[in-house]
């Protein structure tokens, strides 16, 4: 008897990748409260004061989550983006890893301040704590102001060329990323007495772009394109076929 068994309907691999990337992108926004959570640990007399260290520890955990999520977005998208340009897709992964490394380093600086306080270092360690807080600010400038601009230029270009998302999204990246890079450069060289909170303003467009991309990938997935068509065809060829058919 000739029986043909067909594979059960399943979500395509491209849709799974888009959904995973979208959710992870949205996860990168969990560290927003760290700005407020770090206010105490970066204050002038933190290590000589009293009270819990919970806020600083929670802020550090949130930043670690963001660092890992940033790497995750690049790794999840790599199988799709490499079909457009493998070199740039690999560059995106490397840039995300570098960004995450700076975040880990920044968290280590602040956790070191917490350790000084817990060990009762007192006033003798005030200079050390101020130095660690300054180092955090400098590494933040590189890791969370400069590197995201590089990441998003790479990702925006790959998405623009591949047409995996509406072109308005990567165009947003082309506008937002240079603004963030310019603000980071202005702060590094202190051009015109650059305000220390300039990155907050310059970071708004990049946040809108990344949030919009995360929502789009989560809700809609990739647009039909030669890349997604090729992935669908590969999935069809790999589907189960009954040898007795």
Q: What is the count of structural domains for the chain?
A: 1
pLDDT score for 10 = 43
- The answer to the question of residue 201 being in a domain is yes
- The answer to the question of residue 4 being in a domain is no
- Average pLDDT score over the chain: 85
Cβ(89)–Cβ(158) under 8 Å? yes
pLDDT tens per residue across span 62-115 = 999 999 999 999 999 999 999 999 999 999 999 999 999 999 999 999 999 999
Cβ(173)–Cβ(156) under 8 Å? yes
Mean pLDDT across the stretch 222-233?
A: 82
- The answer to the question of residue 244 being in a domain is no
Half-sphere exposure of 182 (CA within 13 A, CB side): 11
Structural domain boundaries enclosing 109 = 13-224
- The answer to the question of residue 229 being in a domain is no
Query: Any idea of the CA torsion for 134, 139, 144, 146, to the nearest 10 degrees?
Result: 120
Residue with tokens 């989560």: 218
- pTM: predicted TM-score of the whole model, two decimal places: 0.84
Cβ(105)–Cβ(137) under 8 Å? no
pLDDT tens per residue across span 20-77 = 999 999 999 998 888 889 988 988 888 888 778 899 999 999 999 999 999 999 999 9
Q: Cα separation of 183 and 185, whole Å?
A: 5
- The answer to the question of residue 241 being in a domain is no
Residue 240, pLDDT > 70, answer no
pLDDT tens per residue across span 155-212 = 999 999 999 999 999 999 999 999 988 888 877 776 545 455 666 777 889 999 999 9
- The answer to the question of residue 240 being in a domain is no
- The answer to the question of residue 3 being in a domain is no
- The answer to the question of residue 237 being in a domain is no
pLDDT score for 197 = 63
């Amino acid at each position: 008897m000739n029986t043909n068994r067909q594979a059960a309907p399943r979500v395509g691999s491209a849709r799974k990748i888009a959904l995973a990337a979208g959710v992870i992108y949205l996860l990168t926004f969990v560290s927003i409260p760290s700005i407020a959570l770090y206010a105490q640990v970066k204050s002038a007399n933190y290590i000589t004061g009293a009270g819990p260290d919970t806020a600083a520890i929670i802020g550090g955990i949130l930043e670690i989550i963001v660092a890992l999520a940033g790497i995750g977005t690049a790794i999840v998208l790599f199988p799709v983006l490499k079909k457009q340009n493998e070199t740039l897709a690999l560059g995106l992964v490397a840039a995300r890893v570098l960004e995450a490394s700076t975040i880990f380093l920044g968290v280590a600086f602040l956790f070191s301040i917490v350790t000084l306080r817990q060990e009762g270092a007192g006033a003798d360690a005030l200079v050390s704590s101020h130095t660690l807080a300054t180092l955090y600010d400098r590494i933040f400038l590189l890791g969370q102001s400069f590197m995201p601009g590089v990441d998003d230029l790479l990702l925006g270009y790959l998405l623009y060329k591949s047409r995996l998302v509406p072109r308005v999204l990567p165009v947003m990246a082309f506008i937002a990323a240079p603004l963030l890079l310019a603000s980071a450069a202005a702060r590094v060289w202190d051009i015109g007495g650059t305000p220390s909170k300039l990155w907050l303003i310059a970071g708004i467009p990049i946040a809108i772009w990344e949030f919009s991309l995360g929502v789009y990938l989560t809700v809609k997935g990739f647009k039909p394109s030669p890349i997604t068509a090729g992935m669908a065809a590969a999935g069809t060829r790999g589907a189960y076929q009954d040898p007795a058919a």
